[in-house]
């Protein structure tokens, strides 16, 4: 692929072979016939690959290659849950979610969420418990969300600054109100719905 | 962008301006400063855009532009739930899910799922009820899943053929076993977890 210079002048760096690891081997990986295209985004990569699946079907599949995310269901000493109402450009508006963030390089899910909860909500906790993990969009993304329960959360005196592109407000709700908002559709964020129900037996 | 021919010769059609509608207007859409890049995939598009958000933050954000998906929680007359264990290349293996599919052009979610349930499971129903809808990955995808309950499902005498790239088997489970599998992690598909808990009060 020689005209790298030309692609740069088109402001289109996408065809440059990137050092993104190929689909890691797992119990039943697809056979990678040809890596057609790779785009390295801010927080994840996007690929289009020609694959042969275990049942021998061949075709081209796109995939978001995502480092994963970590989420917290934070509970105050009074038993309220800490949510955020966050602007999401994909939704063209603000949606209710539990605090969460994308794993950074070499960061464990625990470290990610312990950082994110402080940055997003100004709360902290030292009582953490894993709730579970789940695929968000296994048709086209390898993103896994690691969900945690954070109990007895405390307000930080000097919370760390938020990311400049994060536009959100903290919202406290009782578990009953969270459950009601799931059924009415007011809470329409899948990772948060999953985490709430995984946490419910422990609340 | 003149060297379209050259991009074709690189097997890289991605910088051709595509007739994909710009982010539709909603209550609080981002301001599209520059559509840097668009890739039209099999079932969805991928874009990288320079945006200005309502809080004036500017930056480049990637987005999967997805038509949406529809999912069913199918219940047999005996009260069992119909799931599928499906190969997913993103998971490099087989995962437990409720039957679901991507909306095709001009298809309503109801039409999609009434088609998909037949193709994927060989069951059909005429007792449908909307459970809810939710965003799967609002950080980078505008995909919404429309979830439905399908009661009194019946086996079709002549089920329609499956897509050749679908590699799956039908699994019947009691609601209690589904709930157990969610807590153990055996069922680790977010759209299915959400749908189960939305359906639970009606089971």
Tens digit of each residue's pLDDT (9 = 90 or more) over A40-88: 988 999 999 999 999 999 999 999 999 999 999 999 999 999 999 999 9
Q: Is B92 exposed, middle or buried (0-12, 13-18, 19+ CB in 10 A)?
A: middle
To the nearest whole Å, the CA of A94 is away from the closest chain B CA by: 8
Asked if A142 lies within 8 A of B90 by C-beta distance, the reply is yes
Give the model confidence (pLDDT) of B68-77 as tens digits.
Answer: 999 999 999 9
Distance from CA of B103 to the nearest CA of A (A): 13
Q: Across the interface, do B182 and A197 touch by the CB < 8 Å criterion?
A: yes
**List of chain A residues whose C-beta atoms are within 8 Å of the C-beta of residue B36:** 11-12
Q: Which of A95, A74, A70 is nearest to A154 (CA)?
A: A74
Residues in chain A with CB shorter than 8 Å from the CB of B94 are 28
What is chain B's mean pLDDT, rounded?
A: 87
Domains of chain A with bracketed CATH: 31-65 (no CATH), 68-202 (3.90.79.10)
Cα B127 to Cα B120: distance, rounded to the nearest angstrom: 18
Would you give per-residue pLDDT tens digits along chain A (203 residues)?
332 222 333 333 333 333 333 444 458 999 999 998 889 988 999 999 999 999 999 999 999 999 999 999 999 999 999 999 999 999 999 999 999 999 998 899 999 999 999 999 999 999 999 999 999 999 999 999 999 999 999 999 998 988 888 899 999 999 999 999 999 999 999 999 999 999 999 99
According to DSSP, the residues that pair with A132 across neighbouring strands are A147
Cβ–Cβ gap A10/B15 under 8 Å: yes
Kindly report the pTM of this predicted structure: 0.88
Q: How many residues does chain A have?
A: 203
Cβ distance B48 to A41 less than 8 Å, yes or no, reads yes
Angstrom CA distances, B40 to A99, B13, B166, stand at 32, 9, 21
Shortest alpha-carbon distance between residue B191 and chain A (Å): 7
**Interface touch A10/B28, C-beta < 8 Å:** no
Nearest to B92 among A27, A55, A143 (CB): A27
Q: Do A135 and B165 touch (CB under 8 A)?
A: no
CA-wise closest residue to A33 among A22, A41, A42: A22
> Are B135 and A189 in contact (CB < 8 Å)?
yes
Report residue B23's pLDDT band, with 50, 70 and 90 as the boundaries. very low
Q: Minimal Cα–Cα distance from A121 to chain B, Å? A: 18
Contacts of A42 in chain B (CB under 8 A): 59-62
């Amino acid at each position: 692929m020689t005209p790298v210079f030309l692609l740069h002048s088109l402001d289109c760096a996408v065809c440059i072979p990137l050092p993104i690891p190929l689909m890691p081997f797992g119990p039943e990986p697809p056979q990678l016939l040809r890596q057609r295209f790779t785009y390295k985004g801010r927080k994840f990569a996007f690929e289009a690959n020609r694959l042969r699946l275990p049942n021998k079907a061949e075709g081209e599949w796109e995939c978001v290659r995502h480092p994963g995310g970590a989420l917290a269901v934070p509970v105050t000493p009074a038993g309220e849950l800490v949510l955020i109402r966050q602007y999401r450009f994909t939704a063209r508006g603000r949606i209710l979610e539990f605090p969460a963030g994308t794993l950074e390089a070499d960061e464990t899910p625990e470290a990610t969420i312990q950082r994110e909860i402080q940055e997003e909500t100004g709360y902290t906790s030292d009582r953490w418990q894993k709730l579970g993990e789940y695929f968000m969009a296994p048709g086209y993304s390898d993103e896994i969300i690691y969900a945690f329960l954070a109990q007895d959360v405390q307000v930080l005196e000097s919370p760390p600054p938020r990311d400049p592109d994060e536009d959100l407000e903290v919202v406290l709700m009782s578990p009953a109100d969270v459950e009601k908002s799931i059924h009415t559709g007011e809470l329409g964020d899948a990772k948060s719905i999953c985490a709430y129900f995984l946490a419910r037996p422990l609340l």
